[in-house]
Chains A and B, each alone.
Chain A
Amino acid sequence: MLLVVEQFLNGLQFGLLLFLLAAGLTLVFGIMDLVNLAHGSLYMMGAYFAATFVAWTGNFLLGALLALGATLVLGIVLEVVALRHLYGRDHLDHVLATFGLILFFNEAVRLIWGPAGLALPLPPWLTVPVPILPGIYYPAYRLAIIVVALLVALLLYLGVMRTRIGMLIRAGASNREMIGALGINIKLLYTLVFGLGAALAGLAGLMQAPILTVQIGMGENILILAFVIIVIGGIGSIRGAFLAAVFVGMIDTLGRAFLPNLLRQILSSTAASTAAPALSSMLIYLLMAIVLVVRPEGLFPANRR
């Protein structure tokens, strides 16, 4: 029971983290029609910035806040210098150019921070176990991730659905020529959206940093998960990204936790221990394959022209 609750929460936490990443990716794709492979690099930069700033200020929250700002600025600079020139080009061009950016970021990080990973220690007040149910404790930090990510998701929803900027963003997604003709500064709007996406990726990276090691290439594996999520959820749909992210996070975590035992009941223990790791890492891809067979457009496709 304890294990089930714990793994369930771990799955939720991982899923929400994935949502932060996928939301930025799907926003940028939905509005600018830009495939940004370097989104994972922004996630990595968020983690590196956090590790640096926390060590520098000695305060976890202040460091995290500075890292968030730094990723936002980095995203805006990236958009203005490089990615802005890619709008309206072929998707293949996006893939290639942002692939080049990944090479650049990975190497820049190696140059600046060195090839070894960094650790981001938590302050003591975040390491205490918190009772969530009578007799069941859960690490405060993971709980904090869940709360922050849910809050951000709520703010994002309200921001996109209820504010004027959000209205412009949605309008830009459905018809960019028209909104430009109506006198909206499209360039500024795009830069803003990209910065927002970068900040979300950075937030995911800096929150994940204390759980995993901060290392080169950390953004790439998780980026592919984010791709799977937006394919399942439907490209351009934030609601789809949210549901798919939580779903994928759960399946992945629960699969890794319980599949080996489950298999051991059916197969011999050696066969199970060989098959389980491969099978549990395949689970989400199988899920994606099933979704594609049933709904090639994803589960919640955004309204396209």
Chain B
Amino acid sequence: MKALSVSKAVTALVLAGLVLLPLYSQLSGNIFILTLFTRIVILALAAASLNLIMGYGGMMSFGHAAYLGIGGYAVGILAQEGVGSGFIQFPVALAASALYALVIGALSLRTRGVYFIMITLAFAQMAYYVASGLARYGGDDGLTVYKRSDFFGLIDLSSRVQFYYLCLACLFGVVFLIWRIVNSRFGLVVQGLRSNEQRMQAIGFPAKRYQLVCFVISGTMCGLAGALLANNTDFVSPAVMYWTRSGDLMVMVILGGMGALFGPVMGAVVYLLLEEFLSQITEYWALIMGPLLLLIVLFGRGGIMGLLGRADRG
């Protein structure tokens, strides 16, 4: 191991940039960039949670956006019913996501491979239709969150800078947690199941139980992202659960590099900045983005972190 590798240097640079961003925004008076990066940080959190099951666990969930919606609707519905405290909203958002993950995971993990991809996709789509059918909470049109979660004055979510740092702290917390999980005995079992489920089972590990726990942890983390996202946009609608959003999250993970700790963060930053950049050039940005994805799949193995890793080895 070299003392300073390219991949570590670039990661550190990006993270430092994220930490110092509000300073730049204040000095330059560019408020838009802070709003943009709040979104990026939240979606990076969602992508990091997906990386836990996809990159380390080998479970290709194509329905991860469902948790964004569940977390968001937990905040939105409670706010509408007069429960404004974040100390209630956030735990409920996490618990609801965990419960959904438990049920969906228990069913989906009966299958594997491409079935698993399709099943998670279909269940997320079901959640989308259920949200569209919630006439009391806006149905198709979505639900406006008139008041952001209230943390008894400890932290003010209406302040752009404070909210940004809250999101960033959540992101770092989740990445730290994932790092601890991945290097724990539990994490090693889950990674072992990815490489060879039969062998692990023969050793005596209850494969499905380990995978289900991992699936639930990941879903709960993504529920946190959902609760933050609803606060960020002051709005939650079925659209956050739409399957293209799940696809976006997958793209972020793969673009960053599957199974790399900071991969999803890099992926989210690059993907969303690219989207922003392309949409400023042309209204038809997806016309470029689509084929670009195809090229990344065909030629860019291992994503950004893989590329940086190759630079390390020279």
Contact = CB atoms under 8 A, between A and B. Distances in A.
B122 to A, nearest CB: 5
Contacts, number: 125
Contacts of A129: none
Nearest to B125: A224
A4 to B, nearest CB: 24
Interface stretch (B147-155, B160-168, B285-293): B285-293
Interface in B14-55: 54
B228 interface: no
B291 A95 contact: no
Interface in A204-237: 220-221, 224, 227-228, 230-231, 235
Contacts of B289: 100, 103
A108 B290 CA distance: 10
A292 B119 contact: yes
Q: Is the interface of A mostly helix, strand, loop or mixed?
A: helix
Interface string B285-314: 111011111101110000000000000000
Contacts of A89: 297
B111 to A, nearest CB: 5
B250 interface: yes
Contact of A100 (B132, B134, B135, B293): B293
Given A278-B130, A281-B133, A104 B291 contact: yes
A179 to B, nearest CB: 22
Nearest to A37: B247
A188 interface: no
Interface of B: 54, 60, 62, 107-108, 110-111, 113-115, 117-119, 121-123, 125-126, 129-130, 132-136, 243-244, 247, 250-251, 254, 284-287, 289-294, 296-298
30 contacts: A29-B114, A91-B60, A92-B250, A93-B297, A96-B254, A96-B293, A99-B244, A99-B247, A100-B294, A100-B297, A101-B290, A105-B290, A106-B286, A107-B285, A220-B243, A220-B244, A221-B125, A230-B118, A274-B135, A277-B132, A277-B133, A278-B130, A279-B133, A281-B130, A282-B126, A282-B129, A285-B123, A289-B123, A293-B110, A296-B115
